[in-house]
Structure 1
């Protein structure tokens, strides 16, 4: 176990006579935006989570072939975005660990670090549930954490439920609806590169960090083939 990574975790579970609920909000956060924050807050309220850990990925397994902003900048933006909420905690846990980041590795170390009266809740999008059965060591993920699948109002979760049932794995999935916020980190990066406003898509503190550090100015040159490549007028 990486002791240096564990230093970045908050204390939880001190009272042995009560159960604690720890939410884990993983992501690239490149950059973090209001969609992430609203999802975490809605999950916290709906499932009575004591704390939500925001964990910027170090080397995300699903983005090894893509350009990602350096971890220190993504972590700094996460700290800025979550600072005003006492129930949110930005952790260096994943960015300080060497190698590729897998969800199961994070859950294993959290389970080993916290006492048994701390329950783990992994927050993800309902669309990700369609793929989670094929994630690295999916069966162990099912054993280690309850899944919180967030979706926009009106999203059809039938396919997700069917995929989970067909997998035959002991997933415990809680489905919650969140306000219909169609915000993406990709769109924010592209708008910054085009010189367009991203105000009200992310916090002023994150926006200030992006401007100060000149992030995403070269985004258009690094778009994947098939993505929108011009700035347009929208």
Structure 2
């Protein structure tokens, strides 16, 4: 790689409770389709959007995310949202991830295409869209959405392979005594078993 080239970095935030193979496929597909040099997984610290549900403690979610991405040299984990006190906002996440790199980087914020519909409600959205481009993951069978570009958003849609998984489903399977092997990376499945996560 040309040392003078601006690196293209994907920022992939989430609760990752637990991280599953769908997350890894999404990050890999975004990297491939958009020519990213690296994808940074950012586990949420205080996921204020999920205040109505019980979320596994940050240390366990961080460790599971590290275990999930450990085998891919293109992936890494940032603790910036966990280290920050209080509510986590995308605009702060992006600023913190940018500060982790020397020199110029182009940041690409990876989100589900359905999240674009309420993007205009996000905290300091104007600052966010000035600092990143968006990669919107379109699920199979869903049509591409119209995007309000009036506030300057730059977005690239990519169609996702058919991987129908959710963290909610993985937690429920563990609660029901069903296996999650092949739904989450082996190391994550072992960690869930070892720690007795999602049992009740």
- TM-score between the two structures when normalised by the length of structure 1: 0.81
Residue deviations 1:184-232, cap 9 Å, x none? 00011011001012121111110000000000001xxxxxxxxxxxxxx
**Segments of 4+ in structure 1 off by > 6 A?**
none
- Give the secondary structure class of the aligned counterpart of 2:118: helix
Match of 2:148 in 1: 164
Match of 1:199 in 2: 181
Please state if 1:127 is matched with 2:109: no
Residue deviations 1:155-177, cap 9 Å, x none? 211xx32x424xx1100000001
Please state if 1:49 is matched with 2:33: no
Gaps of 5+ in 2: none
Question: Larger RCO: Structure 1 or Structure 2 (Cα < 8 Å, ≥ 6 residues apart)?
Answer: 2
Match of 1:100 in 2: 87
8 Å CA contact retained: 1:79, 1:90: yes
Match of 2:191 in 1: 209
Larger CA deviation: 102-111 vs 124-133: 102-111
How many residues of Structure 1 are paired with residues of Structure 2 in the alignment?
199
- Give the secondary structure class of the aligned counterpart of 1:99: coil
Larger CA deviation: 32-41 vs 198-207: 198-207
Larger CA deviation: 191-200 vs 114-123: 114-123
8 Å CA contact retained: 1:111, 1:144: no
Give the CA deviation at 1:152: 2.1
- Give the secondary structure class of the aligned counterpart of 1:164: coil
Counterpart-to-counterpart distance in 2, 1:131 and 1:94: 21
8 Å CA contact retained: 2:174, 2:180: yes
Counterpart-to-counterpart distance in 2, 1:91 and 1:117: 18
User: In structure 2, which of residues 112, 137, 150 is the aligned counterpart of residue 150 of structure 1?
Assistant: 137
